[in-house]
Amino acid sequence: MDGISANPRTGVFLCTCGGAIPLTIDIRHLEKEAKGMSGVVHASTTDFLCHPESRKRITETIVSERLDRVAIAACSPLIYGKEFREAAEQGKVKGCLMEMANIREQCAFIHDEKGKATEKAAVIVSAAVAKLAATGEKEGDNKALVKSEACSGCGVCLSTCRVSAVRLIDDPGRPGRKVASVDPKMCEGCGACVAACPSAAMDQSCFSNIEVTAEIDAITPVRATEDEGYPNIVVFACNWCSYAAGDLAGIKRLQSQASFKVIRTMCSARVDPEWVMRALSRGADGVLILAGKPGRCHYEVGSIRTNRRMLLLKEVIHQLGFDQSRFRTAFVDSDQPELYQQEIEMFIQKIKEIGPNPTRTPEPGERVYSTDYQFGSGISEAAMRARDLI
């Protein structure tokens, strides 16, 4: 990972979906908000951004505005992600430097209060922009990576990888020592090995620690009062299972409160315990992990690993003084939009019962974790222990 870019040139392209999105989102206000985001040098709105001519204009704008990152604020990445990626690549913006902000299925279609839906859409776009700023310019496809200088050669990643994409090789810089190595042709990009690594030597392109950290920070700003933006809930959703269920909930117009923001990962097993602790430490009122049901996980055993690790993390959260009810893991498959809605609504109600997170309004001089935080230093040693259960 190259780290956060000092001078990104990000373009934000918003879609009205033929007028469907503006029914509950003030798209012009959202465009204005996007223009004011750090690193954004272009923001525009189109009626049908998925149309071939519109995608052609995206490519032309990338070239004319010299954009090096692209955020598409439109529908789900599971629907037109491939087409928008191709449009970006034709403008020489490759790999993970194109990010989609799902303001349609998972915002406009499920929230009928225009003010709250617009506010949430702005946060969704800001999270995408922040993630892009943290994306390395040379970053390619979604694969696991190894920082050899930090690798202890413990082999935890080998036992975690179900496709044997990781192996130990001789470390040329340290005679007699072994270091992990990932075969990119075999790696499926689930990220389970990254979250399990006890020395933080593993990372993942497109869903790196610093990228997801940037998303968390965008979703959990410092609050002036306990009531501001309450409740604010972070949801980690599996790309193949619960995130897809969220899309289907949007298509079916299953209404929910606009109190949660979703961070998509390829697998729930990628969710690092430190991400949960970071969100809570920054004042998130609750963190919900929605994994696929055991036995039906796209990566076969990802959700089982998630459940084991997060059961331990729940105890860690209690030890650190947080109410255990602020954190929950639930299981939702791609064909269960009603369950997706129910799990989120039940969690929001629970958070309302226990009240605001005390850390959402830090005392003067109290540290608030921000994007300069480097993984591996640890929010707490206890949080790191949660990685031990693979």
DSSP string, 218-229: HHSPPPSSSSTT
The pLDDT assigned to 95 comes to: 86
The pLDDT assigned to 330 comes to: 94
Task: Inform me whether the pLDDT recorded for 202 exceeds 80.
Answer: yes
52: left (phi over 0), alpha (psi -120 to 50) or beta: alpha
| Strands, sheet with 327-331, edge to edge from the N-terminal-most edge strand | 260-265, 233-238, 286-291, 327-331
> What pTM value is reported for the model?
0.90
Closest among 33, 118, 369 to 222, alpha carbons compared: 369
SS3 86: helix
User: What are the residue ranges spanned by the domains of the chain?
Assistant: 7-137, 144-204, 221-390
* Strand residue runs (E) in 19-172: 40-46, 69-74, 98-102, 144-146, 166-170
**CB neighbour class for 241 (10 Å; exposed up to 12, middle 13-18, buried from 19):** buried
The pLDDT assigned to 315 comes to: 81
| Angle, helix 209-219 to helix 114-133, in steps of 10 degrees | 150
φ, ψ of residue 183 in degrees (nearest 5): -85, 105
Class of domain 144-204: alpha beta
37: which DSSP letter?
S
**CATH code of domain 7-137:** 3.40.50.11610
CATH topology of domain 221-390: Rossmann fold (3.40.50)
The region of weakest confidence among 49-63, 224-238, 329-343 is: 224-238
The two structure tokens encoding residue 242: 């619960």
Task: Inform me whether the pLDDT recorded for 208 exceeds 70.
Answer: yes
Closest among 337, 332, 351 to 260, alpha carbons compared: 351
The rounded distance, in Å, linking the Cα atoms of 219 and 343 is 20
The pLDDT assigned to 304 comes to: 67
Q: Do domains 7-137 and 144-204 have the same CATH topology?
A: no
For 287-320, how does the pLDDT look when each residue is reduced to its tens digit (9 = 90+)? 999 998 887 887 766 666 676 777 778 888 888 8
Q: Residue 321's Cα: distance from chain center in Å?
A: 25
